[in-house]
Amino acid sequence: MLSQEYKDTVDELAKEARRRALELLKVTALNTNLKNMKLIIEANGGKLIDDVSDGAKYAYKGENSFEVYYDSRTASAKDLAHELGHHFLLNHLYKGSLPKGLVLRNIACSGTKEGNSSFFGDEYKIEYLYEMAVLYFERAFLLPKKEFIAAVDNYSNKDLCNTVKIAEIFGVSEHLVITRGDDLGLWERRNPRSVRRKVEAD
């Protein structure tokens, strides 16, 4: 599992990515729909390559250069946010600006979409932790912490949180909303039909 330190750091990293996206797109509010995610990828130095073979893939080409292979027929904003997470996390890991505990992938072998296959240390553990961090970034980018918590507060009563409404507001699935709430420890009760906002003690 990711430590709280890592979660906090990745939340800040996603916040930085959103701030950069606002600047690059020259907008004051960020809509993370598929069209804008494509623009965000390209504005960050990414090249989108239509590839129907096997879902989205990421290839690191340098600090300001990367490729995203994706199926334009089925790709979602969530898919592209995930690949953007690879880019931001790899850059910060390479610079050594993330907390210790996650070892950088051996990017020397990552010149193709099949790359990133070698690791320093325990391969399974590193791959697992790295992918967890990328998944966390994906959720943090699409559902930024401050705005998400405000939405949960606004659409909760003493019994339920309206996760369907929150999903509509952010343009994501209800499952992603519930998982993000799990990330942030917001739920008092969690089951497939309902979640209750945790009430903080005075």
CATH assignment at residue 161: 1.10.10
Mean pLDDT for back-to-back runs of 10 residues, the chain (202 residues): 81 89 85 88 86 71 78 87 87 60 39 38 58 91 94 84 92 93 84 67 47
Amino acid making up residue 23: E
Backbone angles phi, psi at 144, to 5 degrees: -60, 140
Name residues whose C-beta falls within 8 Å of residue 195's C-beta, 6 or more positions apart in sequence.
160, 161, 163, 178, 181, 186, 187, 189
Same structural domain, 49 and 120? yes
Name residues whose C-beta falls within 8 Å of residue 58's C-beta, 6 or more positions apart in sequence.
66, 67, 68, 69, 83, 86, 87, 113, 116
- Residue 105 near residue 116 (C-beta atoms within 8 A): yes
Same structural domain, 103 and 154? no
Same structural domain, 36 and 105? yes
Strand 46-50 with 187-190, pairing: unpaired
Q: Which domain, by its residues, includes 193? A: 145-197
Residue-level pLDDT at 120: 37
Which pair of tokens denotes residue 14?
A: 């996603």
In total, how many domains does the chain have? 2
The answer to the question of residue 98 being in a domain is: yes
Region class of 179: left (phi > 0), else alpha (psi between -120 and 50), else beta: alpha
Same structural domain, 89 and 153? no
Residue-level pLDDT at 32: 87
Q: Which of 95, 115, 142 is the last residue of a domain?
A: 142
* Residue whose entry in the numeric block shows the structure tokens 């929150």: 166
- Residue 59 near residue 67 (C-beta atoms within 8 A): yes
Same structural domain, 94 and 55? yes
Backbone angles phi, psi at 39, to 5 degrees: -65, -40
Residue-level pLDDT at 66: 84
The answer to the question of residue 158 being in a domain is: yes
Residue-level pLDDT at 117: 39
Amino acid making up residue 95: K
Same structural domain, 133 and 156? no
Is the C-alpha dihedral spanning 114, 118, 124, 126 positive or negative? negative
Same structural domain, 43 and 108? yes
How far apart are alpha carbons 165 and 81 in whole angstroms?
A: 21
The answer to the question of residue 202 being in a domain is: no
Residue-level pLDDT at 174: 92
Residue-level pLDDT at 154: 92
CA dihedral 140, 86, 89, 111 (to 10 degrees): -170
Q: Which of 142, 163, 186 is the last residue of a domain?
A: 142
Same structural domain, 137 and 169? no
Same structural domain, 189 and 104? no
Residue-level pLDDT at 69: 85
Residue-level pLDDT at 62: 66
Same structural domain, 157 and 191? yes
Q: Which DSSP symbol is given to 103?
A: P
